């Protein structure tokens, strides 16, 4: 399977201006009509297996366009688990191609992955074949992005997202991770403001204020399901000491110094200390 995809990649690389007025029937496509979509012409066809295919291009299709799609479809239709309902292929002016495959079914290990693909499988080519699309499971939109090597590797990735969407979001979805970081920064900023207000209202001693800040750092160190993990007091004290000695130190520099001292603190905990103690986010 990997060899087949590598052959497709080589064929996709030959998408150039080529000859115009290609005969789609020479490549196993039976043309059923054409229509315009914005500035693109859509050639509506069926391939040799009767699967509906739309080929779109700003220019007239070339022989390379038709042959590339024919061989790509031959590979995809040869997969064991994926069954295709229809395909939409866009040939771009920069030589790349975007292909959307709408599956009728994609049953892998007794799970129909196709039922979690509201917009199908989006494939892209720019020197290699990769995918970037979304699946929907338990009201969660999961972004799947990567490179295809073979059908089993691809199906395993999709199945892992379907079987545990929360874990997949936590470990794979960059947009979800960024949102979690932004939420954390906002919470830390709010906690820091509360510390400032409390200091002004109660005129806490330095010792009391340090205890209050440590409590806020601990409260902020919650897991996904609300559990609180105690923060190392020695680690907090070490960070405060380092930052007071050199206020220009960054989080990465502090993390490196903590490692040298044998003190274990997570990036999240260091971020909380920077926010609560130094108002740096």
Got the DSSP string for 61-121? --HHHHHHHHHHHHHHHT-SSEEEEEEEEEE-TTS-EEEEEEEEEEEETTEEGGGG-TT-E
Q: What pLDDT was estimated at residue 151? A: 94
Cα–Cα dist 117/102, whole Å: 8
Q: Are strands 82-91 and 52-57 parallel, antiparallel or unpaired?
A: parallel
Residue 270 neighbours by CB under 8 Å, 6+ apart: 239, 251, 254, 255, 258
Q: What pLDDT was estimated at residue 17? A: 31
Q: What pLDDT was estimated at residue 180? A: 63
Q: What pLDDT was estimated at residue 224? A: 47
Residue 203 phi/psi, 5-degree rounding, is 50, 55
pTM of the predicted model, to two decimals?
0.55
**Block mean pLDDT (10 aa), the chain, length 281:** 48 37 88 89 92 90 85 88 95 83 97 96 77 92 90 95 88 67 69 69 57 64 59 85 90 90 86 82 67
Cα–Cα dist 240/246, whole Å: 10
- Angle 233-245/267-278 helices, nearest 10 degrees? 60
Cα–Cα dist 106/115, whole Å: 8
Q: What pLDDT was estimated at residue 214? A: 66
Is the distance from CB of 97 to CB of 90 less than 8 angstroms?
Answer: yes
Residue 259 neighbours by CB under 8 Å, 6+ apart: none
The residues spanned by each domain of the chain are 2-172, 177-278
Measured CA angle at 62 (ends 58, 65), to 5 deg: 85
């Amino acid at each position: 399977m990997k060899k087949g995809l590598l052959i497709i990649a080589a064929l996709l690389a030959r998408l150039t201006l080529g000859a115009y007025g290609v005969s789609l029937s020479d490549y196993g496509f039976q043309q059923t009509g054409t229509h315009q979509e914005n500035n693109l012409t859509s050639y509506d066809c069926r391939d040799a297996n009767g699967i509906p295919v739309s080929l779109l291009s700003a220019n007239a299709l070339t022989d390379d366009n038709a042959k590339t799609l024919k061989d790509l479809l031959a590979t995809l239709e040869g997969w064991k688990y994926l069954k295709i309902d229809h395909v939409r292929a866009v040939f771009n002016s920069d030589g790349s191609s975007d292909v959307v495959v709408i599956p009728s079914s994609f049953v892998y290990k007794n799970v129909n992955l196709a039922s979690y693909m509201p917009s199908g499988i989006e494939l892209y080519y720019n020197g290699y074949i990769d995918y970037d699309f979304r699946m929907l499971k338990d009201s969660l939109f999961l972004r799947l992005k990567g490179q295809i090597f073979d059908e089993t590797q691809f199906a395993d990735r999709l199945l892992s997202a379907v079987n545990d969407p929360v874990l997949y979001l936590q470990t794979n979805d960059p947009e979800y991770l960024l949102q979690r970081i932004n939420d954390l920064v906002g919470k830390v900023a709010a906690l820091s403001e509360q510390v400032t207000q409390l200091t002004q209202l109660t005129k806490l001693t330095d010792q009391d204020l340090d205890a209050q800040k440590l409590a806020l750092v601990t409260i902020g160190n919650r897991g996904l399901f609300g559990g609180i993990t105690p923060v190392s007091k020695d680690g907090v004290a070490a960070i405060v000491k380092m930052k007071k000695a050199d206020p220009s130190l960054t989080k990465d520099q502090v993390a490196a110094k903590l490692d040298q001292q044998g003190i274990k603190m997570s990036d999240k905990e260091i971020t909380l200390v920077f926010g609560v103690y130094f108002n740096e986010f």
